[in-house]
Chains A and B, each alone.
Chain A
Amino acid sequence: MKNFDVVVIGGGPAGLAAALSARKKGASVAVLERDDKLGGILNQCIHSGFGLHYFGEELTGPEYAKRFRDAVLQDSGISVFLETMVLSLSKDKIICALSPAEGLLEIQAKAVVLAMGCRERSAGAIALAGERPAGIYTAGAAQRLCNIDGCLVGKEVVILGSGDIGLIMARRMTSEGAKVKLVMEIMPFSSGLKRNIVQCLNDFDIPLRYSTTVTRAEGKDRLTGVYIAPVDEKLAPILEKEEFIPCDTLLLSVGLIPENDLVSDMIELSPITKGAVVDERRETSLEGVFSAGNVLHVHDLVDNVSEEAAIAGESAALYALGKLPRGEKYAVTPSRGVRYALPQRIQAGEGKVRVYFRVDQVYRGKTVAVASGGEIVKRKKTAVMAPGEMQYIEIDKTALTGDVSIYLEEV
């Protein structure tokens, strides 16, 4: 049995930032990564646009990952286990993992940071009708095959979902030799960043149709086309308006799900984020277990992931070293236009807390309000808010007198 103060599960952007910040507080750290290289999904995100907030410069995914990876590998206080998959985590923080180099690995951790990232929703999860030939993939799988393996999944591409991965892949497929015929979004708005719509679609004259979905796929061995149709207010396809689009590839960018299977029967999960319910230190309902990055809630910017994971890593180190203060906690509840807010708990005390939130539709000129114990403690006027762009509002903990609610005024 090996012993570490802090064990970080996952060596992507969240795990690496958590490991570094835990080290800064003096903890011994282990990072368990299932791939043969640190960096997680960033290694296949070869486009640029990472790090504008965190480093103040525009980096590609592999470059952003390398900065953290180099720092982690240079730190002798961080043990890195590659090709290591965690099989189980017990309530007393014994981790059982498997790797070709170590075989079965048992580790006793004082604190754990969950940084396992998320997975993509599949064709099965959206119950895609029609045939199931080759040619239907999640955008992330196609991205890996393209950017790591150098293989193009098809030449005539239709993309369902205008989330950032779908938009990025529209540009990538075009750049590498395919024709992207159409991007579709079932909602009347995109969950992707405006910048990506302009630079990935508009720059390459790729059409984007809102309120449209795929009704069925056709093709025996290889996809030969998809039927698409506009949807009504209830998102049900209007089948009279169904049309056929010939294509050999359908890429799906239809949502990301935090990968919490390891802990789903152990910690409280939010039905909305599908990630853990945490306090502002990113501590889950199980003492000494922290969560950060896309396993906690799906982010749109890696910069926010790094920031959040640094909080989790620092808190985990403090917990392991017996220095994490405990106190009364207030619940944070979203309502009126706010779909979710995170953290879901705030411990009473001093200092500032950023409450991250997403709205449920596009709002213009609304004021975000935070109330505690029945009194408004913070208001912030915003020009526009979209579900695709995570927002935050900073509050002073000393102003809190009871449970917290966050909502949009005039909604």
Chain B
Amino acid sequence: MTSFDVIVIGGGVVGTAVLKSLASYEAKTLLLEKASDLSMGSSRANSGIVHAGYDAEPGTKKAYFNVLGAKMLPALAEELHVPYRKTGSLVAAKGGGEAGLEVLLDRAKKNGVRAEILSREKILELEPKISPEIQSALYAPDAGVVSPYKLTIAQGDFAVLNGATVKLNEKVEGIERAETGFIVKTSKGEYAAKAVVNAAGAGAKRINEAIGEMSVEQVYAAGDYYILDSKQSGVVNTVVFPLPDEKGKGILVAPTADGNVILGPTSRRVSEAQAERNAVTREGLALVREGVNRLISGVRIGDAIRVYAGTRTSVGSDFIIEESKSFPGYFMLLGICSPGLTSSPAIGEYVAEWAAKKFAFKKKEKTVPLPKKFKLSACSIEEAREKAKEDPAFGRIVCRCEKVTEGEILSAIHSPVPACTVDAVKRRVRAGMGRCQGGFCMPRVMEILSRELHLPLTAIRKGDEGSEIAPYEVKDGYEEL
């Protein structure tokens, strides 16, 4: 049985943030993820907003970690070469909504967040297409957008590059106490660890139960989203929210870090079983369309290239970020819903410091930086020329919509946390994320995966087990029909 200092359960943005922060210490770490890739839960399907920090109630963990995380995120994104843009955000109010904005402004002050209330005239300078109904807005210049799944994956890559182990497709089935800490039993094996960090997101309750910790009540809210073609990118410049209500921050309109436009989410209470399925609803999409029209005029829904749903898991009104009292060495990260993405770097640091202190991990003198990868769509003509000369695979474009070369795909397949599925390739290099949604490149990406992973084409999956894209050969079982 292999022994580790720390085992992190869950490969979302929080779990990988912990792993990334632990990579600065002399500690042997393992991350276990039940799905086929990192970022397969809430981290892949959320708004991708870096919240400035005015929304959370002063004094809460949400407020503390949000404000701290928002300050850390720009540098982290730069360090890991993750798409991030500081766009600023607006909470837009109709006439009569000023009181609501004042409440937010007051919280911003208490949380130490820069914010001001703008008149319609000033709003128009930022958002020329703001709806005519909007009269005032709370402007927070430090808000931004980040690619949540790319951040998650890059944190995992960085950690692996610096000695961590990441195991995908491995579900935790039981946790036992041992003399030296814990034994974690998975679908594939057993591992010993001094400390276990529960960052399992929607699965955190199950992990708590597996160890025998208090059972928590998780509440699941699903949200529907539209992603629009990058040609709509001029329609909005900042993250535009409506005034929040009891259901959440409401349906927003924002640019994405990768240059698309995101609309959503709704907030539908769903069951635990539904939370795993992420089904988009027609009613939800209709609500998004209505919500968007109240904020920004001239958004062309006809330019949608994708719809999806994501689930947020909450436990009570605040984050639970604490070491278990009954099981010392077991650290719980529960109910990390919004602003979880923004908070994640601060949560990662907090947990790493806790572990370092408890187990006296030494800080490494230096870490290996994550190398910046070549990206055709972001480079100059001269760089493209040089790269294609150096390696012809970078001269072969596989995804025409997003201009992704075979070389980029190969590098994703052979990255520290390897991309082994079509969707995993897509999340890393955007092949299939453009306007044709993989209609052209999907078979070609499958061919490359088949070649590189030495698997028959029929075994290539979209995502998790059971999602083979073309599972049969032609004529298989023809006689039976």
Tell me whether B226 and A127 are in contact (CB under 8 A): yes
Residues of A within 8 A of B254 (CB): none
Other-chain contact of B396, A83, A128, A129 (Cβ < 8 Å) = A83
Tell me whether B277 and A152 are in contact (CB under 8 A): no
Tell me whether A87 and B465 are in contact (CB under 8 A): no
Tell me whether A34 and B400 are in contact (CB under 8 A): yes
12 pairs from A and B in contact (CB 8 Å cutoff): A99-B395, A103-B395, A124-B304, A141-B442, A142-B470, A149-B457, A176-B478, A177-B474, A220-B276, A221-B463, A221-B466, A264-B231
For the complex of A and B, the 6 pairs showing the least CB-CB separation, nearest first, are A100-B392, A124-B306, A151-B470, A122-B437, A221-B466, A104-B385
Tell me whether A124 and B305 are in contact (CB under 8 A): yes
Instruction: Say how far A271's CB is from chain B's closest CB, in angstroms.
Output: 11
Known: A98-B388, A130-B279, A264-B231. A177 touches B481 (CB 8 A): yes
Give bound CA distance, A331 to B88, whole Å. Answer: 47
Contact indicator per residue, chain B 372-409, by CB within 8 Å of chain A (1) or not (0): 00001000010011001100110111001101011000
Instruction: Say how far A384's CB is from chain B's closest CB, in angstroms.
Output: 31
Give bound CA distance, A261 to B400, whole Å. Answer: 10
Tell me whether B307 and A177 are in contact (CB under 8 A): no
Residue of chain B at shortest CB distance from A265: B231
Other-chain contact of B307, A34, A98, A124, A137 (Cβ < 8 Å) = A124
Give bound CA distance, A176 to B481, whole Å. Answer: 10
Contact indicator per residue, chain A 111-154, by CB within 8 Å of chain B (1) or not (0): 00000000110111101111111100110111011101111111
Query: What's the dominant secondary structure at chain B's contact region?
Result: mixed
Query: Residues on A close to B: CB < 8 A?
Result: 34, 83, 85, 87, 96, 98-104, 119-120, 122-125, 127-134, 137-138, 140-142, 144-146, 148-155, 174, 176-179, 215-216, 218, 220-222, 261, 264
Tell me whether A177 and B478 are in contact (CB under 8 A): yes
Give bound CA distance, A132 to B231, whole Å. Answer: 24
Other-chain contact of B468, A130, A134, A174 (Cβ < 8 Å) = A134
Known: A98-B388, A149-B457. A119 touches B439 (CB 8 A): yes
Question: 16 new A-B pairs (CB below 8 Å) besides A134-B463, A141-B440?
Answer: A85-B397, A85-B403, A100-B388, A100-B395, A120-B439, A124-B437, A127-B226, A127-B304, A129-B282, A148-B443, A155-B477, A176-B475, A215-B282, A216-B279, A222-B466, A264-B231
Give bound CA distance, A142 to B440, whole Å. Answer: 10
Instruction: Say how far A133's CB is from chain B's closest CB, in angstroms.
Output: 6
Tell me whether A177 and B276 are in contact (CB under 8 A): no
Is residue B427 within 8 Å, beta carbon to beta carbon, of the partner chain? no
Residues of A within 8 A of B276 (CB): 220
Q: Total A-B residue pairs with C-beta atoms closer than 8 Å?
A: 175
Residues of A within 8 A of B384 (CB): 87, 98, 104
Is residue B447 within 8 Å, beta carbon to beta carbon, of the partner chain? yes
Residues of B within 8 A of A261 (CB): 401, 435
Residue of chain A at shortest CB distance from B385: A104
Residues of B within 8 A of A98 (CB): 376, 384, 388, 395-397, 405
Instruction: Say how far B175's CB is from chain A's closest CB, in angstroms.
Output: 25
Contact indicator per residue, chain B 459-481, by CB within 8 Å of chain A (1) or not (0): 00111111111111111111001
Residues of A within 8 A of B131 (CB): none
Instruction: Say how far A49's CB is from chain B's closest CB, in angstroms.
Output: 20
Within 8 A of A (CB), among B29-79: none
Give bound CA distance, A124 to B301, whole Å. Answer: 11
Residue of chain B at shortest CB distance from A177: B478
Residues of A within 8 A of B226 (CB): 127
Tell me whether A151 and B473 are in contact (CB under 8 A): yes
Instruction: Say how far B216's CB is from chain A's closest CB, in angstroms.
Output: 24
Residues of B within 8 A of A140 (CB): 439
Is residue B285 within 8 Å, beta carbon to beta carbon, of the partner chain? yes
Give bound CA distance, A216 to B282, whole Å. Answer: 8
Tell me whether A103 and B388 are in contact (CB under 8 A): yes
Is residue B438 within 8 Å, beta carbon to beta carbon, of the partner chain? yes
Instruction: Say how far B137's CB is from chain A's closest CB, in angstroms.
Output: 29
Tell me whether B475 and A134 are in contact (CB under 8 A): no
Give bound CA distance, A34 to B399, whole Å. Answer: 11
Residues of B within 8 A of A100 (CB): 388, 392-393, 395-396, 406
Instruction: Say how far A379's CB is from chain B's closest CB, in angstroms.
Output: 36
Tell me whether A85 and B400 are in contact (CB under 8 A): yes
Tell me whether B381 and A141 are in contact (CB under 8 A): no
Most A C-beta atoms less than 10 A away, residue of B227, B396, B457, B461: B396
Tell me whether A150 and B395 are in contact (CB under 8 A): no
Tell me whether B437 and A123 are in contact (CB under 8 A): yes
Residues of A within 8 A of B475 (CB): 176-177
Tell me whether A96 and B439 are in contact (CB under 8 A): no
Tell me whether A149 and B472 are in contact (CB under 8 A): no
Other-chain contact of A103, B281, B389, B473 (Cβ < 8 Å) = B389
Residues of A within 8 A of B278 (CB): 131-132
Give bound CA distance, A119 to B436, whole Å. Answer: 7
